[in-house]
Structure 1
């Protein structure tokens, strides 16, 4: 209780400092509303969206907090992708197989990756966040650590409301404003959300068809190639230069080149010999003593979705488990 009180008091103190520098939260919201109005957001939407708007100290606390202990991949993967989640993913992949295959064919994205992202992001739509998105984004913009980013996202959220995809009181998300079953930030929604069921709305909160189409559209527009998978865990020879690892474009090498450097599949077999060789990047998210991977460009696309090596590997691992018998 004392620790929580100190955290809340710390946030309140920061809010007080901000209030003295840039006015109260209420004054900041008024400025945000005026900017939105100048961009064409209607008064009705502004009234509904900001009705009862509140500063959310817990959102600021979450934004500032960093994990105290960094898990290794050997610790993280079983937690992020437990067996029960794999079982659920397979069941849902089968349940929605027809819809998923239609989306996969349309966008050129394997269905197992659509389901894997769904599972890792929101546990298949069961954990989507209960913050009013406008509250969360207004709070984080006012707090100021990343004001430009969150103010832009708040304006994007208002644009979504103006377009009629969701009612203001139903626009819920995470403390950071990530929304719906695919956990899109509002700007990502505007760029990538898709109407999968043809009802004229892009509803990533309630429509699985829209979630699937939106996820696939994001990946497709970001450079996904369904001719290939994401990569694979590998073994490297002892003493391999750590300078070879990294996702910079210049560090990509063809599989035959990696083979000549002594890189093998995890079970020791040679790397695949493809009719058309493919570039891959060597990554060591922990260090050379931890798990080592060769990843293809599809993995780089997953990193555009979320810039965490661990997140992208969790999605990739779940997608692989879905594909297994």
Structure 2
């Protein structure tokens, strides 16, 4: 929910505050953004409201979601911030795959086992991957972001650096509200508009979100069954193969071709000297394709990445992220009520 203490006076206070923000905008606070877009935020917002109406968004939703909003300087700052120095994979992995996250993932896997297994039977995605993504994205729903998604997306659509992309996401967000899945006040997420416990952008919500409990709302903010089914549906529609792993850590000789652009069968990798990390042979397969990935680069840890690894990268195009999801899923699976395919 929106965190404030305005109570029943919130609409009035919101408009009062917006006048101050718009005044600052006109006096220069957002001057760079206004120049980038060729106009002030009020002018942009007026034009966008007309476009939203032409796209079929109801006037009630347009008024409820957009009246009184103003740019968020913090969102602009975050969007323009230069990337920080990249940490190594070993440090990244130790940050995201903690014993606490593993233990909590195992506990939640057992708690929601029946729902997760039913979802697996429908979408073909084993429970440990759904739980691992949930843990990686929002620490199992605890860190979903503190920004008003509509306000943040409007800021980014006006600010100009990726205007068309964020304008489309904002239109999708309004259509989600219009369909009754949530309200503008409850649509909270990251500064870039990723929403709910699975951190879907509005376009991903419209393509993949699921009303699993049948209450008429696709609630990725508060209904865990909807969160799980939505994540599984995303992976399923992205090409998940139920009978395959994500990949595995391996021991590989120096000099082999690395990277996702090189694909060979597992048997071909075995002939090149790739083995399981304990030194045992790889499973035999003349059809299952894999790539040799070394997230750290150089002589770092090596992994054979299967097709499901590529599916995880459709969710987040980061080798660090995809590898960590797979490793976390394997560790969580060890706490399953019944053995899971490893």
TM-score (ref. length: structure 2) = 0.87
C-alpha distance in 1 between matches for 2:102 and 2:157 = 37
Structure 1 gaps, min length 5:
1-8
1:15 to 2:15 alignment: no
Q: Offset at 1:66?
A: 4.0
**Within-5 A mapping of 1:172-183:** 172-183=188-199
C-alpha distance in 2 between matches for 1:26 and 1:307 = 35
SS class of match (1:170): coil
Q: Offset at 1:13?
A: 6.5
C-alpha distance in 2 between matches for 1:14 and 1:224 = 47
Q: Offset at 1:14?
A: 8.0
Paired position in structure 2 for 1:237: 253
Paired position in structure 1 for 2:115: 99
Higher mean Cα deviation, 276-285 or 228-237? Answer: 276-285
Paired position in structure 1 for 2:270: 259
Q: Offset at 1:52?
A: 2.8
1:201 to 2:214 alignment: no
Q: Offset at 1:291?
A: 1.6
C-alpha distance in 2 between matches for 1:65 and 1:171 = 24
Alpha carbons 2:294, 2:302 under 8 Å: kept: yes
Q: Deviations over 1:19-46 (max 9, x none)?
A: 2451111211111111111010011000
> What is the RMSD of the two structures over their aligned residues, measured on CA atoms?
1.6
SS class of match (1:168): coil
Structure 2 gaps, min length 5:
1-23, 336-342
C-alpha distance in 2 between matches for 1:314 and 1:127 = 18
Q: Deviations over 1:40-74 (max 9, x none)?
A: 00110000001331211111222232443322111
Alpha carbons 1:73, 1:291 under 8 Å: kept: no
**Within-5 A mapping of 1:219-238:** 219-238=235-254
Paired position in structure 2 for 1:160: 176
1:81 to 2:83 alignment: no
TM-score (ref. length: structure 1) = 0.91
How many pairs align?
309
